[in-house]
Structure 1
Amino acid sequence: MAKQKKETKDKALEVTLWDAANKLRGSVEPAEYKHVVLSLIFLKFASDKFEVQRAKLIAEGKGKYVEMPEFYNMNNVFFLEETSRWNFLIKKSKQNDIALLIDTALHTIEKNNKSLRGALPDNYFSRLGLDVTKLSSLLDTINDIDTTKDPKQDLVGKVYEYFLSKFALAEGKGKGEFYTPKSIVNLIAEMIEPYKGIIYDPACGSGGMFVQSIKFIEAHHGNKKEISIYGQEYTNTTYKLAKMNLAIRGISGNLGEKAANTFLDDQHKDLKADFIMANPPFNQKDWRADTELTDDPRWQGYEVPPKSNANYAWILTMVSKLSENGIAGFILANGALSGGGEEYKIRRKLIENDLVEAILVLPRNLFYTTDISVTLWIVNKNKKAQIKQVGDAARSYRDRQKEILFMDLRQMGEPFEKKYTQFSDNDIKRVVDTYHTWQTSTSSATAVGTDYQDIPEFCYSASFDEIAKKDFSLVPSKYIEFVNRDENIDFDEKMKGLQTDFAELLKAEEQSRQELMAVFKELGYEIKL
């Protein structure tokens, strides 16, 4: 009961903050005011930690050091000059120049703390011309958050995550690409198990993959100090969001010197990652010019990805970044499963090189930016027999050379925010258990409940020969057995058939049109179109 009350209280705080933020609506779009709100939450959080450390120094008789940055940074606390502290801003919150004071505070914090370089909005509040009364009201609401009351609850992190999701929902389709829904990130983390080593995300958005990785480690009693985080983000404002998101939680990460295009300005050229988690842009067009990147080392041994679609450029970028035993979990549009041309050649080589481990087709409406069904790929540089340490237990992995596990999750999920879907904890457990059982099992024909088995409408382990016979298609419905619905229809074959029928109909229509025009011409009339 106490836990339920605590969750209700936290939720009420999040909703209250959201309502206060919504008062800024009108002249300011969600894409803009999210930076206002999240920056203020960060400022309150940084100030609270500063004040706790300051009080500690005084209590320990070290009062002469309270204005020395070194005595804050040593405990992972940002040093704040007086004009950057929350109490100073609250006292000035009703003044007409409060926006300028906030901008100055953020600029000063960034200047004094190396890890925040490039993370905080620059001259943002003044530029937006915010209503002083509404901004003051928002400051008062945020002032009620006690960010240090219960560090184990990560209250600020929860509020920050809640706001990111709400802003993504508010921005809707075509926007909000900075945010990957939590249940998807959680599924990837539970599947690839990023316990120890380097984690990389080449399109890190607001940093959700990193946050969930750390949560996974904490939930399984791992050591956060054994993880190193690297990422890159193209959009400058989203790059700032990611840096703030990590700073809020005290997570150290290298996101590169600046926001930059991963293809054209790789910030981590020599990186080899043990784990990659990513949700790159779907079906990105014109990602390179005709002559750009044609001899890039990331495609070595493969065809050059087509410039019309970046899906396979993302795949090869991630493959090139994996360490000898590295594993990647990433989201792509379903079209990558069966594309032709250069995509076909790359996909075939990936399968022949025994890199593709699992393909999971996800439900529709998981994302706030698109309603299409997408795919989770698991690419593993070491699918062969190995002993893997998982928490306190050693897991034996059998040789599944060139086999691929296909899973269909489209019937999973629970309603979320009325029109969206999210995975439940039970959904994630079923998928993860099936995947790990498949990895560790010695046969797909043993007794039910003791080892992996193919399950109609859910999963199927396909051999290399089966995949080759399907011309290296990775469409799950080509392999998984469907018995209770029409999913046994081969979508690609059906579409090709419809394409042929439609072409014949158009041809017949054109012929009829020509014949009709000829009749009118014979009668002395000419139809001009």
Structure 2
Amino acid sequence: MNNPEQQFLKALDDKLWKAADKLRANLDAANYKHVVLGLIFLKYVSDAFEERQEALLERFKDENDDIYYLPREDFDSDEDYQQALQEELEILDYYREANVFWVPKAARWSTLKEKAVLPVGTVLWQDDTGHDVKLRSVSWLMDNALEAIEKSNAKLKGILNRISQYQLENDKLLGLINTFSDTSFTKPMFDGEQLDLHSKDILGHVYEYFLGQFALAEGKQGGQYYTPKSIVTLIVAMLEPYSGRVYDPAMGSGGFFVSSDKFIEEHAKEHHYDPSEQKKHISVYGQESNPTTWRLAAMNMAIRGIDFNFGKKNADTFLDDQHPDLRADFVMANPPFNMKDWWSESLADDARWQYGTPPKGNANFAWMQHMIHHLAPTGSMALLLANGSMSSHTNNEGGIRQRLVEEDLVECMAALPGQLFTNTQIPACIWFLTRDKANGLVRNEKKRDRREEFLFIDARNLGFMRDRVLRDFTVDDIAKIADTFHAWQRGEHYEDVAGFCKSASLDEIKKHDFVLTPGRYVGAREQEDDGEPFAEKMARLTGQLQEQFVESERLEAEIKRNLGRLGYDL
């Protein structure tokens, strides 16, 4: 947190969370997140929209711009020219071509801020029939904005939660609006320095931060819509989803899609592509059973201008697959660990159980086989699961794991450190599988033939403690793991490292009875040789220990004497 951008974001997080947290006296965490995220949503889409308007206005006036220039001499007066500029700014196609979310006038932040301070009963505007529309309350004004957005954006119909149902007082909502307004999202400054951050960067960060905070506030239940950012970033960095169809069957709030979007932007900049053109080559598909979380995911995509297909409704992935015909190029998921209550007798002979029927009391291998079922012939996937999935032999799990290995779907197993999750202490791992280890159907990738080879990565010693309870990965940690995976895939500068990574053969895995725990393969880390012979070192350390025992006895006797003088007898 040393650079100005990070310090700015940290200060902003604290400020906005402190303002939002005041609602906790009136609402529980499960409800006040809808109010706060609804406001963040309105602010985000409005700021991105206004940023696009400013850029368009400059181009309309730039005589060197052959496409957008609007000549002043074509109009009789300055007033006509200004009117034409304003009308041009309201053309929808200008925003869609730049992947910017369209925001109608009634939903723009400037409208919300201006009208929210007016007395209740004030006439705001006239509706389509010519009748006066009066201000009823601040929550009504927010609901009106959300409704206007839904009408203008068909994919969000029925998605945005209305605020009025929570019956919050006007002054509390006005306080939130003022706090969100009292920050420069388009031209952020820190210690007098102009920062290279756009409103999309800032509000995207705030949105993710709030999702994480709500997950903490709600405890175990909150984790259902939030996967730690570092794990999502790691998986995306390893799979490299530049183009194609990306699918998450347990999408939560859509974190994998957001990270994929950021990854594509960074990749495009690195190779001097146009990010908006690059994004046209990717499409996202998701499914989520929880209605609240399904809505959050749709909002999360909309504020970033990501085109999405999350099915017609929230639904159970196993019982009501919203994408039955999808064959995805990349599948990524963090489903609930060891989910017990998932089975239905209608699933008994399901076509997805190609490698064995999963146990009725644990959905781990049901998720895995569902994802494999939806993989394209060249597709790759990453699945976050509890560590037990790597070694359990209970109720056919060992048999399914053996089939997956023997049929050469497993590519890499990565063991993660503990304390990465806000809502569980269960140790976790990532399974990386692919349908094309031979690299026979190349997608412009420099991968080699990896048949009957398996990479094991033990990342349990990586990361740092972000606070007293949560661990996190550094950028270097993520790069180390991802680079190791890519070097192994491509056969470029890969080497086994004791205690960290090992490329194993099928025969080695058979010797371990198809248990895939990385620790069994990577071995122990090599200790540094300090040049001191082992026998001499042991003699020296034993002598030091003896001296410490003697000193301990002396100190114990001294303490007893002092206590005795005070009248205490041990």
- Report the TM-score when normalising by structure 1: 0.82
Structure 2 residue aligned with 1:117: 157
- Does residue 349 of structure 1 match 2:399? no
SS in 1 for 2:359: coil
How many residues align? The count is: 468
Give 1:17 deviation, angstroms: 0.9
Matched residue, 1:360: 414
Q: Residue 182 of structure 1 corresponds to which residue in structure 2?
A: 229
1:333-482 paired onto structure 2 within 5 Å: 333-340=386-393, 341-385=395-439, 395=446, 397-441=447-491, 451-482=493-524
Matched, 1:307 2:330: no
- Rounded to whole Å, the distance in 2 between the matches of 1:100 and 1:431 is 49
Q: Is the 8 Å Cα contact of residues 247 and 330 (structure 2) preserved in structure 1?
A: yes
Query: Which residue type is aligned with residue 141 of structure 2?
Result: L
> Which deviates the most, 424-433 or 270-279?
424-433
1:104 aligned partner, one-letter code: N
CA contact (8 A) 1:45 1:147 kept: no
Give 1:325 shift. Answer: 0.9
Q: Report the AA paired with residue 400 of structure 1.
A: R
CA distance in 2, matches of 1:457, 1:141: 49
Following the alignment from structure 2 to structure 1, what is the Cα–Cα distance between the partners of residues 450 and 99?
44
Counterpart residue type for residue 269 of structure 1:
P
- Name the structure 1 match of 2:209: 162
In structure 2, distance between residues paired with 1:437 and 1:177: 34
User: Corresponding residue for 2:43?
Assistant: 44
| Other-structure match for 2:371 | 318
**Matched residues in 1 for 2:184 and 2:160: separation?**
22
- 1:253: Cα distance to partner? 1.3
Q: How does 1:121-132 map to 2 (within 5 A)?
A: 121=161, 123=162, 125-132=163-170
Partner of residue 262, structure 1: 317
Q: Which structure 2 residues correspond to residues 98-113 of structure 1 after superposition, within 5 A? A: 98-113=138-153
Q: Which structure 2 residues correspond to residues 290-305 of structure 1 after superposition, within 5 A?
A: 291-299=345-353, 301-305=354-358
CA distance in 1, matches of 2:248, 2:281: 17
Change (3 A) 1:21 1:337: same
Q: Does 1:220 align with 2:274?
A: no
* Residue 328 of structure 1: how far off its partner (Å): 0.5
Secondary structure of 1:325's aligned partner:
strand
Flag the 1:382–1:15 CA change in 2: closer, same or farther, 3 A.
same
Contact persistence 2:464–2:472 (CA under 8 A): yes
Partners of 1:426 and 1:66 lie apart in 2 by 44
Which secondary structure state, in structure 1, belongs to the residue aligned with residue 308 of structure 2? Answer: coil
Q: What is the RMSD computed on CA atoms of the aligned residues?
A: 2.6
Question: Could you tell me how far apart the structure 1 residues matched to 2:362 and 2:98 are?
Answer: 46
Structure 1 pair 453–64 and aligned structure 2 pair: CA distance change class (3 A):
closer
CA deviation vs aligned residue, 1:145-176 (integer Å, no higher than 9, x gap): 44444538622112112222222223233432
Q: Which amino acid aligns with 2:176?
A: L
Say whether 1:211 aligns with 2:258: yes
CA contact (8 A) 2:244 2:282 kept: yes
Unaligned runs of 5+ residues in structure 2 are 62-69, 71-83, 121-135, 188-196, 528-570
Q: What corresponds to 1:520 in structure 2?
A: none
Evaluate the alpha carbon distance shift between residue 136 and residue 292 of structure 1 in structure 2; reply closer, same or farther with a 3 A threshold: same
CA pair 38-145 structure 1, distance change in 2 beyond 3 A: farther
Q: Distance in 1 between matches of 2:186 and 2:280?
A: 22
Q: Which runs of 5+ in 1 are unaligned?
A: 442-449, 486-529
Structure 1 partner of 2:14: 15
Residues 67 and 476 of structure 1: is their aligned pair in 2 closer, same or farther, counting only changes over 3 Å? closer
Aligned mates of 2:442, 2:479 — CA distance in 1? 19
- Report the counterpart of residue 238 of structure 1 in structure 2: 293
Q: 1:91 aligned to 2:129?
A: no
C-alpha spacing 1:427/1:54, structure 2 compared with 1 (3 Å)? closer
Matches of 1:142 and 1:4, distance apart in 2:
23
| Change over 3 Å in CA distance of 1:220–1:75 after alignment to 2 | closer
Offset, 1:54? 6.1
Post-superposition shift, 1:375?
0.7
Distance 1:307 1:111, change over 3 A: farther
Aligned to 2:177, the other structure's residue is in SS state helix
- Alpha-carbon distance in structure 1 between the residues aligned to 2:49 and 2:441: 45
Matched, 1:143 2:181: yes
Closer/same/farther in 2, CA of residues 37 and 315 from structure 1, 3 Å limit: same
Q: After the TM superposition, which of the residue ranges 398-407 and 12-21 deviates more from structure 2?
A: 398-407
What per-residue deviation string (whole Å, max 9, x for no partner) do you get for residues 405-450 of structure 1? 1121111111113310111111112212222222233xxxxxxxx7
CA separation in 1, counterparts of 2:514 and 2:183? 54
CA-to-aligned-CA distance 1:456-489 (integer Å, 9 cap, x gap): 221222211221222211122332312679xxxx
Distance 2:50 2:493 in 1: 55
Q: In 1, are the aligned partners of 2:101 and 2:302 still within 8 Å (CA)?
A: no
Which amino acid in the other structure matches residue 242 of structure 1?
A
SS at match of 1:249: coil
In structure 1, distance between residues paired with 2:39 and 2:442: 43
Aligned-pair CA distance for 1:69: 5.3
Distance of aligned partners of 1:465 and 1:148 in 2 relative to their CA distance in 1, 3 Å threshold: same
C-alpha deviation, 1:239, in angstroms? 1.1
Amino acid in structure 1 at the alignment position of 2:495: Q
What are the superposed Cα offsets for residues 176-211 of structure 1, whole Å, 9 maximum, x if unpaired? 221111111111111111112111111111111011
Between 1:100-109 and 1:327-336, the stretch displaced more is: 100-109
Residues 174 and 370, structure 1, Cα contact 8 Å, conserved in 2: no
